[in-house]
């Protein structure tokens, strides 16, 4: 087993470090010319969709939320995202102009599989964003976009998540370019940003950056609750950060879209509550910072994740973690790595078995 972990203490850490390679494999050979053209080998007509339904469970659901944002922004098609256990029982509205997308690492999660059967029954076209080759979903769905993250053993998903998000970026490019909603210039910009991803994640995993996150994680490892905030395309990053922390450290964590904080969670803030805020470069950064000020005014402890070079906003954090600067649309991939490391080092500091967290299964194949 030690050999399989490739010198790392755990599968989870190994898989975190495998991300630059996993992302290379997800993106490699699919990014075409400089105008944002991608080659996904999807056997469906992108002009035939009027709406898209994304269904998934757990971490894959959060990848779907990033997908919603990317597809709506770049391809201007209405997208809804559902947890599969809800979708399958709510008599969903689908028709032949609906594209139903299943997101799944294993391709075997029963709720997701049944949700897709439901969508098919209603006449939807179906597509899987899937890791496991030859899995049940890949056999039943009309088409599959493999994420090529490689085998994931750690129960808490890491590299599959960032590869799923990258796959959605390519899907959004494909839809945007073929449907004419994405200009040559924007296409070129995003293609460049996508190409940069493996390198940016490698940068995020440099020893001094990892050591900084470890230091912060250890400082707050004895907190009984945690709050995660993010906005826009990074609000799912906050959700994923909270999920990761719950799964492996058993610390109660909640996540909110930062602007929603004043409608409830603000009541929880006191000097004992660490609040992890994703505040990397974005259109809405100023608004996020004003949410941070609200937290601090109530004595909450702010762990601020900023883009490299943002010295101006450092004053707003009790602890600051700098992350490689990325195009906003691809930043969820880079930022997710920081969330994984925060959860990982918190759980390790508490002596938890990160590869086999209690009560969780890698793949849930019974209802
Ligand atoms: C389980 C795992 C999660 C995973 C979810 C969906 O709950 O513990 O890590 O996100 O299933 O799995 P899937 O294989 O469909 O992505």
Give catalytic status of residue 362 as yes or no: yes
**d(Cα 126, Cα 119) in Å, to the nearest integer?**
8
Residue 362 Cα to ligand 1 middle (Å): 6
109 CB near ligand 1 (under 6 Å) = yes
Tell me the ipTM for this assembly: 0.98
Sheet strands side by side (includes 252-257): 252-257, 225-230, 274-279, 301-307, 319-323
Instruction: Give the mean pLDDT of the chain.
Output: 96
Which of 270, 321, 319, 335 minimizes the C-alpha distance to 296? 270
Nearest Cα residue to 275 out of 289, 259, 257, 296: 296
363: Cβ below 6 Å to ligand 1? yes
State how far Cα 31 lies from the chain centre.
20
pLDDT for residue 277? 98
Give the per-residue pLDDT at 366: 86
Could you read off the pLDDT of 65-84 as tens digits, one per residue? Answer: 999 999 999 999 999 999 99
> Looking at the predicted structure, is the pLDDT value of residue 266 above 80?
yes
DSSP for 76-117, written as a single string: ---EEEEEHHHHTTS-----TTEEEEEEESSS--HHHHHHHH
pLDDT at position 1:
74
58 alpha carbon – ligand 1 mean position (Å): 5
Whether the per-residue pLDDT at 34 is higher than 90: the answer is no
- Cα(134) to centroid of ligand 1, in Å? 17
CB 279 within 8 A of CB 285: yes
SS (H, E, C) 224-257: CEEEEEECHHHHHHHHHHHHHHHHHHCCEEEEEE
Higher-confidence residue of 41 and 51: namely 51
Q: What is the mean pLDDT of residues 191-216?
A: 97
Q: Does residue 131 line the site of ligand 1, with CB under 6 A?
A: no
Q: Over 90: is that where the pLDDT of 33 sits?
A: no
Mean pLDDT value of segment 88-114: 96
Note the pLDDT tens digit of each residue in 313-330: 999 999 999 999 999 999
Residue nearest (by alpha carbon) to ligand 1 atom 4:
58
The answer to whether 287 and 313 have CB atoms below 8 angstroms apart is no
Structure tokens at 30: 């699919």
Residue 2 has pLDDT above 80, yes or no: no
Q: Whose CA is nearest to atom 3 of ligand 1?
A: 58
Predicted confidence band of residue 3 (pLDDT cuts 50, 70, 90)? confident
pLDDT at 367 over 90: no
Q: For residue 59, how far is its CA from the centre of ligand 1 (angstroms)?
A: 6
Is any atom of ligand 1 closer than 6 Å to the C-beta of 104?
A: yes
346 lines ligand 1 (CB under 6 A): no
pLDDT band at 6 (very low <50, low <70, confident <90, very high): confident
Q: Residue 17 and residue 207: Cα distance in Å, rounded?
A: 11
pLDDT at 32: 85
Ligand 1 atom at minimum distance from 106 CA? 14
Q: What is the mean pLDDT of residues 301-312?
A: 98
Provide DSSP, 153-214. Answer: -SSS--HHHHHHHHHHHHHHHHHHHHTT-S-HHHHHHHHHHHHHHHHHHHHHTSHHHHHHHH
Q: Is the pLDDT of residue 99 over 80?
A: yes
pLDDT, tens digit (0-9, with 9 covering 90-100), for 136-172: 999 999 999 999 999 999 999 999 999 999 999 999 9
- At residue 35 the predicted structure's pLDDT band, cuts being 50, 70 and 90, is confident
What pLDDT is recorded for position 295? 94
Q: Provide the pLDDT for residue 223.
A: 97
pLDDT confidence of residue 218: 98
Mean pLDDT of 98-111: 97
């Amino acid at each position: 087993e030690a050999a399989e972990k490739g010198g790392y203490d755990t599968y989870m850490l190994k898989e975190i470090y495998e991300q630059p390679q996993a992302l290379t494999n997800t993106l490699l050979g699919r990014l075409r010319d400089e105008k944002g053209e991608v080659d996904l080998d999807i056997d469906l007509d992108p002009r035939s969709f009027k709406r898209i339904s994304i269904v998934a469970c757990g971490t894959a659901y959060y990848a779907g939320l990033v997908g919603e944002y990317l597809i709506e922004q770049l391809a201007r098609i209405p997208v809804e995202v559902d947890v599969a256990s809800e979708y399958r029982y709510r008599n969903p509205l689908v028709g032949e102009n609906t594209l139903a997308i299943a997101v799944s690492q294993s391709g075997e999660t029963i709720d997701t599989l049944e949700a897709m059967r439901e969508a098919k029954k209603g006449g939807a076209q179906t597509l899987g964003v899937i890791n496991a080759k030859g899995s049940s979903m890949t056999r039943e769905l009309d088409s599959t976009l493999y994420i090529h993250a490689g085998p994931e053993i750690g129960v808490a998903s890491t590299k599959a998540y960032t590869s799923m998000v990258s796959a959605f970026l390519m899907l959004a490019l494909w839809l945007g370019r073929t449907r004419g909603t994405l200009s040559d210039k924007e296409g070129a910009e995003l293609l460049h940003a996508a190409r940069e991803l493996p390198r940016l994640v490698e940068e995020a995993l440099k020893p001094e950056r990892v050591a900084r996150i470890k230091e912060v994680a250890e400082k707050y490892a004895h907190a009984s609750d945690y709050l995660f905030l993010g906005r826009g395309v990074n609000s799912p990053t906050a959700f994923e950060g909270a999920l990761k922390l719950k799964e492996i450290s058993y610390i109660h964590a909640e996540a909110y879209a930062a602007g929603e904080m004043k409608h409830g969670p603000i009541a929880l803030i006191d000097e004992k509550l660490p609040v992890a805020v994703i505040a990397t470069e974005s259109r809405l950064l100023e608004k996020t910072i004003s949410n941070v000020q609200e937290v601090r005014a109530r004595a909450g402890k702010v762990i601020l994740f900023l883009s490299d070079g943002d010295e101006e906003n450092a004053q707003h954090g009790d602890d600051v973690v700098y992350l490689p600067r990325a195009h906003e649309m691809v930043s969820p991939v880079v930022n997710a790595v920081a969330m994984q490391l925060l959860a990982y080092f918190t759980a390790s500091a508490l002596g938890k078995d990160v590869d086999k967290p209690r009560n969780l299964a890698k793949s849930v194949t019974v209802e």
